[in-house]
């Protein structure tokens, strides 16, 4: 499958571009004038179209057993609610604070996954989770007017963690492209149904994108969803756990840098807010680096 120039055929480059594009979604969410539910409806609709075209180009069939389709659509619905809360939080507190809160998904996963899968708790993750909680407390403390937005961002992080756990039950059974197609298509149908009921008889102004919104929506769907997902899937087939974990945890940093450069955020932050953000990001990066190092040691030992 051709994904771009020769440099893009390197898995390391593919993964970092995909993570960069995932971080860029926060910027696009801030630029698009639509509310969270309507914004996500357009995103999943356009993304479903893109995945459908990609399936046809690859001559892959999207046909699955009905029970599995319903399972995939159900997980897609959780993903959609994650996106809705993510974009709603961005409208309330901005991309940077939202991305920092989203980084806590790593430790939410550490708390929730053992309850669902039965694996043992990892003490290191629980300890670093306490640091994350302290960092989020400082963000609450120094941005009191944004507490509702921060809570919504934390809910988005919890949903992101849940999606990752649920996806583990199906990713080994079907191609990622087929899963993405059904998640986007099913979610689009459900969202259109929801909007048809809730928006009946109301002005259509809030449902229609502004002219410039179409450009941002196209980038969000085709570049940051279709293209980024396929880059990530292709790259992860060839990379070690060390490379994968470190790269994925760079998403908040990429997003914060972009928010600073493109939107002018983070230029007048209080020391307490900066400390809170650093505590969260530091815990995430430390956990990622340590986990990757342990995976590398195990791989080297087995190889020896």
The reported pLDDT for the residue numbered 221 is: 95
Torsion-angle region of residue 266: left (phi > 0), alpha (psi -120 to 50) or beta? left
Q: pLDDT band at 17, cuts 50/70/90? A: confident
pLDDT value at residue 298: 73
Query: Do 90 and 98 form a contact (C-beta atoms < 8 A)?
Result: yes
Q: Report which of residues 92 and 251 the model is more confident about.
A: 92
Q: Residue 6: pLDDT band by 50, 70, 90 thresholds?
A: very low
What pLDDT is attached to residue 119? 67
Quote the pLDDT of residue 266. Answer: 60
Predicted confidence at residue 262, as pLDDT, reads: 80
Query: Would you list the DSSP string of 235-302?
Result: HHTT--HHHHHHHHTTHHHHHHHHHHHHH--SSS--HHHHHHHHHHHHHHHHHHHHHHHHHHHHHHHH
Of 72 and 160, more confident = 72
Residue whose entry in the numeric block shows the structure tokens 């040691």: 297
pLDDT value of residue 292:
66
Q: In the structure, what pLDDT confidence band is assigned to residue 275 with cuts at 50, 70 and 90? A: confident
State the Cα–Cα distance between residues 252 and 100, nearest whole angstrom. Answer: 6
Q: Is the pLDDT of residue 203 over 70?
A: no
* pLDDT at 271 (0 to 100): 74
33-90, pLDDT tens digit by residue?
998 899 999 999 999 999 999 999 888 888 888 999 999 999 999 999 999 999 999 9
Cβ proximity of 164 and 248 under 8 Å: no
pLDDT for res 126: 75
Residue 139 banded pLDDT, cuts 50, 70, 90: confident
How would residue 201 be classed by pLDDT, with cut points 50, 70 and 90? low
pTM above 0.75, yes or no: yes
Is pLDDT above 80 for 111?
Answer: no
User: 33-37, 117-121, 256-260 — which is least confidently predicted?
Assistant: 117-121
Residue 27, pLDDT above cutoff 50? yes
pLDDT at 216: 96
Per-residue model confidence (pLDDT) at position 42: 95
Read off the tokens for 2. Answer: 């051709």
On average, the pLDDT of the chain sits at: 80
Residue 145: predicted pLDDT: 65
Asked whether residue 22 carries a pLDDT value surpassing 70, the answer given is yes
Cα torsion for 232, 125, 167, 9, to the nearest 10°?
10
Cα-based torsion angle of the residue sequence 234, 236, 240, 246 in order, rounded to the nearest 10 degrees: 120
Sign of CA dihedral 170, 36, 216, 143: negative
**The pLDDT value given to residue 244:** 60
């Amino acid at each position: 499958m051709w994904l771009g120039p020769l440099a893009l055929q390197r898995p390391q480059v593919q993964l970092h571009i995909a993570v960069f594009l995932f971080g860029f979604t926060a910027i696009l969410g801030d630029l698009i004038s639509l509310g969270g539910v309507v914004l996500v409806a357009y995103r999943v609709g356009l993304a479903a179209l893109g995945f459908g075209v990609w399936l046809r180009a690859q001559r892959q069939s999207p046909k699955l057993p009905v029970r599995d389709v319903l399972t995939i659509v159900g997980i897609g619905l959780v993903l959609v609610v994650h996106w809705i809360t993510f974009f709603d939080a961005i409208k309330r507190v901005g991309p940077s604070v939202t991305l920092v809160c989203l980084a806590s998904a790593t430790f939410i996963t550490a708390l929730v996954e053992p309850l669902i899968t039965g694996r043992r708790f990892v003490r290191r993750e629980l300890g670093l989770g306490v640091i994350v909680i302290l960092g989020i407390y400082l963000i609450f403390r120094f941005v009191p007017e944004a507490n509702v937005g921060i809570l919504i961002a934390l809910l988005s992080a919890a949903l992101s963690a849940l999606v990752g756990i649920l996806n583990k039950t199906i990713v080994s059974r079907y191609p990622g492209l087929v899963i993405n197609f059904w998640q986007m298509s099913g979610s689009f149908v459900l969202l259109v149904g929801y909007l048809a009921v809730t928006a009946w008889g109301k002005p259509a102004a809030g449902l229609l994108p502004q002219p410039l919104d179409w450009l941002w929506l196209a980038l969000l769907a085709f570049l940051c969803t279709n293209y980024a997902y396929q880059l990530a899937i292709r790259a992860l087939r060839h990379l070690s756990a060390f490379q994968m974990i470190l790269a994925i945890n760079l998403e908040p940093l990429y997003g914060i840098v972009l928010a600073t450069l493109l939107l002018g955020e983070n230029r007048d932050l209080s020391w307490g807010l900066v400390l809170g953000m650093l505590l969260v990001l530091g815990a995430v990066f430390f956990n990622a680096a340590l986990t990757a190092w342990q995976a590398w040691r195990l791989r080297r030992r087995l190889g020896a």
